[in-house]
Chains A and B, each alone.
Chain A
Amino acid sequence: MPVPSILPVGDPAPADGVLPAQAGSGAGGRRFCLYVHIPFCAVRCGYCDFNTYTATELGPGAAQDEYAGTVGGELDLAARVLEQSGVPSRPLSTVFFGGGTPTLLPAVDLARILDRARRLWQLEPGAEVTTEANPDSVTPESLQLLADAGFTRISFGMQSAVPHVLKVLDRTHNPARVPEAVRWARDAGLKVSLDLIYGTPGESLQDWEASLEAAIACGPDHVSAYALIVEDGTRLAAQIRRGQVPDIDDDDHAAKYQLADERLAAAGYGWYEVSNWARTEADRCRHNLAYWHGDDWWGAGPGAHSHVGGVRWWNVKHPVAYAGRLAAGESPAAGRETLDEATRQLEHVMLQTRIIDGLATAELGPQGRREVAGLIAEGLIDGAQAVRGRVRLTLQGRLLADAVVRRLLEP
Chain B
Amino acid sequence: MARTAPVPAATDPAIIRNFCIIAHIDHGKSTLADRMLQLTGVVEQRDMRAQYLDRMDIERERGITIKSQAVRMPWEVDGTAYALNMIDTPGHVDFTYEVSRSLAACEGAILLVDAAQGIEAQTLANLYLAMENELTIIPVLNKIDLPAAQPEKYAAELANLIGGDPADVLKVSGKTGVGVEALLDKIVRDLPAPVGDADAPARAMIFDSVYDTYRGVVTYVRVVDGKLSPRERIQMMSTKASHELLEIGVSSPEPTPTNGLGVGEVGYLITGVKDVRQSKVGDTVTNLARPAAESLGGYADPKPMVFSGLYPIDGTDYPVLRDALDKLKLNDAALIYEPETSAALGFGFRVGFLGLLHLEIVRERLEREFNLDLISTAPNVVYEVTLEDKKVLTVTNPSEYPDGKVSEVREPMVSATILAPNEFVGAIMELCQSRRGDMKGMDYLSEDRVELRYRLPLAEIVFDFFDLLKSKTRGYASLDWKADGEQVADLVKVDILLQGEQVDAFSAITHRDKAYSYGVMMTSKLRELIPRQQFEVPIQAAIGSRIIARENIRAIRKDVLAKCYGGDITRKRKLLEKQKEGKKRMKMVGRVEVPQEAFIAALSSDEPKDKSKK
- The A272-312 residues at the B interface (CB cut-off 8 A) are 274-275, 291-292, 297, 299, 304-307, 312
Q: In the bound complex, how far is the Cα of B584 from the Cα of A411, in angstroms?
A: 8
Q: Does B563 belong to the interface (CB within 8 Å)? A: yes
Q: In the bound complex, how far is the Cα of B613 from the Cα of A98, in angstroms?
A: 33
A2 touches B565 (CB 8 A): yes
Q: Which residue of B lies closest to A294 (CB)?
A: B569
A304 touches B556 (CB 8 A): no
- For B570, give its contact among A250, A299, A305, A409 (CB under 8 Å): A305
B567 touches A250 (CB 8 A): no
Contacts A247-B612, A406-B580; A401 near B559 (Cβ below 8 A)? yes
Contacts A350-B576, A403-B534, A406-B583; A8 near B570 (Cβ below 8 A)? yes
Q: Does B368 belong to the interface (CB within 8 Å)? A: no
Q: Does A390 belong to the interface (CB within 8 Å)? A: no
Residue among B554, B562, B567, B614 with most chain A CB within 10 A: B567
The interface residues of chain B lying within 8 Å CB-to-CB of A351 are 569
- The A1-43 residues at the B interface (CB cut-off 8 A) are 1-4, 6, 8, 10, 35, 37
Shortest Cβ gap from A392 to chain B (Å)? 15
Q: How many residues of B contact A (CB 8 A)?
A: 30
Q: Does B391 belong to the interface (CB within 8 Å)? A: no
Write out, one digit per residue, whether chain B residues 551-588 have a CB within 8 A of any chain A CB (1) or not (0): 00010111111111111111111101101100110000
Q: Does A227 belong to the interface (CB within 8 Å)? A: yes
- For A227, give its contact among B562, B580, B612 (CB under 8 Å): B562
Q: Does A399 belong to the interface (CB within 8 Å)? A: yes
Q: Which residue of B lies closest to A6 (CB)?
A: B571
- State which of A68-76, A173-181, A214-222, A251-259 sits at the interface with chain B: A251-259
The interface residues of chain A lying within 8 Å CB-to-CB of B560 are 274, 398-402
Q: Does A229 belong to the interface (CB within 8 Å)? A: yes
Shortest Cβ gap from B63 to chain A (Å)? 39
A226 touches B563 (CB 8 A): yes
Q: In the bound complex, how far is the Cα of B568 from the Cα of A50, in angstroms?
A: 12
Shortest Cβ gap from B268 to chain A (Å)? 55
A314 touches B568 (CB 8 A): yes
The interface residues of chain A lying within 8 Å CB-to-CB of B559 are 399-403
- For B566, give its contact among A227, A254, A299 (CB under 8 Å): A299
B579 touches A402 (CB 8 A): yes
Shortest Cβ gap from A196 to chain B (Å)? 11
Q: In the bound complex, how far is the Cα of B562 from the Cα of A274, in angstroms?
A: 7
Q: How many residues of A contact B (CB 8 A)?
A: 51
Shortest Cβ gap from A408 to chain B (Å)? 11
Q: Does A115 belong to the interface (CB within 8 Å)? A: no
Q: Which residue of B lies closest to A287 (CB)?
A: B567
- The B174-201 residues at the A interface (CB cut-off 8 A) are none
Write out, one digit per residue, whether chain A residues 84-100 have a CB within 8 A of any chain B CB (1) or not (0): 00000000000000100
Q: Which residue of B lies closest to A401 (CB)?
A: B560
Write out, one digit per residue, whether chain B residues 537-557 have a CB within 8 A of any chain A CB (1) or not (0): 000000000000000001011
Shortest Cβ gap from B142 to chain A (Å)? 49
- The A112-133 residues at the B interface (CB cut-off 8 A) are none
Q: Does A346 belong to the interface (CB within 8 Å)? A: yes
Contacts A229-B562, A307-B567, A347-B569; A250 near B583 (Cβ below 8 A)? no
Q: Does A234 belong to the interface (CB within 8 Å)? A: no
Shortest Cβ gap from B499 to chain A (Å)? 15
B569 touches A253 (CB 8 A): no
- For B565, give its contact among A4, A343, A398, A400 (CB under 8 Å): A4
Shortest Cβ gap from A241 to chain B (Å)? 12
A350 touches B561 (CB 8 A): no
Q: Which residue of B lies closest to A2 (CB)?
A: B566
The interface residues of chain B lying within 8 Å CB-to-CB of A340 are none
The interface residues of chain A lying within 8 Å CB-to-CB of B562 are 225-227, 229, 274-275
Contacts A250-B557, A400-B556; A4 near B566 (Cβ below 8 A)? yes
Contacts A343-B573, A350-B576, A406-B579; A1 near B557 (Cβ below 8 A)? no
Q: In the bound complex, how far is the Cα of B580 from the Cα of A409, in angstroms?
A: 9
A402 touches B561 (CB 8 A): yes
A253 touches B558 (CB 8 A): yes
Q: Which residue of A lies closest to B612 (CB)?
A: A247
Shortest Cβ gap from B555 to chain A (Å)? 10
Residue among B560, B569, B571, B612 with most chain A CB within 10 A: B560
Shortest Cβ gap from A246 to chain B (Å)? 12
- For B569, give its contact among A2, A10, A291, A378 (CB under 8 Å): A291
Q: Which residue of B lies closest to A403 (CB)?
A: B559
A307 touches B569 (CB 8 A): yes
The interface residues of chain B lying within 8 Å CB-to-CB of A292 are 564
Q: Which residue of B lies closest to A4 (CB)?
A: B565
The interface residues of chain A lying within 8 Å CB-to-CB of B574 are 8
Shortest Cβ gap from A256 to chain B (Å)? 10
Write out, one digit per residue, whether chain B residues 115-138 have a CB within 8 A of any chain A CB (1) or not (0): 000000000000000000000000
Q: Which residue of A lies closest to B566 (CB)?
A: A3
Q: In the bound complex, how far is the Cα of B568 from the Cα of A337, in angstroms?
A: 12
Q: In the bound complex, how far is the Cα of B556 from the Cα of A306, in angstroms?
A: 34
Q: Does A138 belong to the interface (CB within 8 Å)? A: no
Shortest Cβ gap from A323 to chain B (Å)? 19
- The A132-178 residues at the B interface (CB cut-off 8 A) are none
Q: Does A188 belong to the interface (CB within 8 Å)? A: no
Q: Which residue of A lies closest to B572 (CB)?
A: A350
- The B160-186 residues at the A interface (CB cut-off 8 A) are none
Contacts A406-B579, A411-B584; A399 near B558 (Cβ below 8 A)? yes
B567 touches A297 (CB 8 A): yes
Q: Top 5 A-B pairs ranked by shortest CB distance?
A: A254-B557, A3-B566, A401-B560, A254-B558, A227-B562
Known: A229-B561, A312-B570; 7 extra A-B contacts, CB below 8 A, are: A3-B566, A35-B567, A250-B613, A275-B562, A314-B568, A400-B560, A409-B580
